[in-house]
Amino acid sequence: MFNSVFLSIAITLVFIILLLAIMITAINDLVFTYWRSRSKELKTFLENLFFDDKHWKEIFESIKTSPFINVLKKDPKSFPGAIPAETFTTALLAHIGKNVLTIEAVKKAVEENKDSKSEFYSLLTALLSQNPTMEQLRAEIDKIYNSAMERLIGWYKRKAKIMSFVFGLIICAGLNVDMITITKNLWNNKDKAEQIASFAAAAGKYFERNDSSQVVLKSGSETLASIGVENKALTGSKIGNAVASMDTMGGNTSKTQLVRSYSILANLDIPIGWSKDNYPVNSDNCIMNFTLWLLKILGIFLTSAAVSLGAPFWFDILNKISPLKQAAGKNPTTQNSSDPNNSAGGDDSVNKK
């Protein structure tokens, strides 16, 4: 049941999409790092965290240069990409209390600004009306901050997903990665489909989730050196090049992940790239050519949509279907033919005759 070309094609397609998804994640990280997008978005968000009034903006200007915030900066001129709730609350209360972290100092500062008509100070007045201890006040501000960060993270994830689809569409169109064409090619070359699927199933163990829950290729020269021993079917030169692409030192930086993923993809012996053989035109019939181009566009769009689901999704899928490939290696037909009971049964039928 499992020993079929359908399984081989499915594993190969999942592996290809996983490689593309890792490339898109790396591109996202490189772009956001270059433009310091996280820092800019966090800074803008915090400027409007406690209402859009001039008093809060004045307070925030001082908080930005607080020693508690400065220690988080990679560059003195930049803003941190992330600020823990406890750090932000400490910096805020230290500024309000004029570097005195006591509840009395905070109450005195709020009392002095009770006529400011600031919504921020109105919030603090409401919190202080419950006569909290300093720890209770800190806890309440932490809750407000964490709730705001959840909204920011949600917005950031939605933006990242849109960017992933956009980058995926650009990459798939630029590299001509068309799921429909690849599937057709593998269907017409079942031995190649089997070989690439064997490689993909064996390669699955050399991916991992990092501390940020991103799926990355493991680093180290030991990565896939053993795959040639584990699977004798991987003797093709192109598959050998794919193995060599994974067997690369260089750590787990975004640039390294991008280069290694592309190298593996380029060596899988699949129809990608805008070469003469991969153009969707092979007829003088205009209607046929138009149809082929529509299928090409649809295939690229489907690939981009699949890639936008993210590397963790396809990593999990690969781990679920790869064991089926190993099970397929145990051919039940061969086992049944060598079963002595079957032989006995055959002898009985002959004797009966």
pLDDT at 231: 47
pLDDT at 342: 47
In contact, 293 and 181? CB cutoff 8 Å? no
pLDDT at 34: 64
> Which is more confident, 270 or 39?
270
Task: Render pLDDT for 228-265 as a digit per residue (tens, 0 to 9).
Answer: 434 444 444 555 555 555 555 455 688 888 888 888 88
pLDDT at 227: 46
Here the tokens at position 204 are 């699955």
Task: Render pLDDT for 27-72 as a digit per residue (tens, 0 to 9).
Answer: 888 877 666 677 888 888 888 887 777 888 888 888 888 889 988 8
> Which is more confident, 135 or 53?
135
User: How would you class 142 by CB atoms within 10 Å of its CB: exposed for 0-12, middle for 13-18, buried for 19 or more?
Assistant: middle
> Which is more confident, 194 or 75?
194
Task: Render pLDDT for 62-114 as a digit per residue (tens, 0 to 9).
Answer: 888 888 998 888 777 788 888 999 999 999 999 999 889 999 999 999 888 87
In contact, 172 and 292? CB cutoff 8 Å? no
pTM: 0.68
Predicted confidence band of residue 21 (pLDDT cuts 50, 70, 90): very high
- In this prediction, what percent of the chain has a pLDDT beyond 70? 80
Here the tokens at position 47 are 């400027």
Task: Render pLDDT for 25-34 as a digit per residue (tens, 0 to 9).
Answer: 888 888 776 6
Residue 221, CA atoms < 13 Å, CB-side half-sphere: 0
pLDDT at 347: 46
> Which is more confident, 296 or 79?
296
- In this prediction, what percent of the chain has a pLDDT beyond 90? 29
Calculate the average pLDDT of the chain: 80
DSSP 78-132: S--S---HHHHHHHHHHHHTTS--SHHHHHHHHHHTTTS--HHHHHHHHHHTT--
pLDDT at 230: 45
Predicted confidence band of residue 220 (pLDDT cuts 50, 70, 90): low
pLDDT at 244: 58
Predicted confidence band of residue 275 (pLDDT cuts 50, 70, 90): confident
> Mean pLDDT over residues 112-131, rounded?
87
- Res. 282: pLDDT tops 70: no
Burial 298-335 (b: 16+ CB within 10 A, else e): ebbbebbebbbbbbebbbebbeebbeebeebeeeeeee
In contact, 300 and 20? CB cutoff 8 Å? no
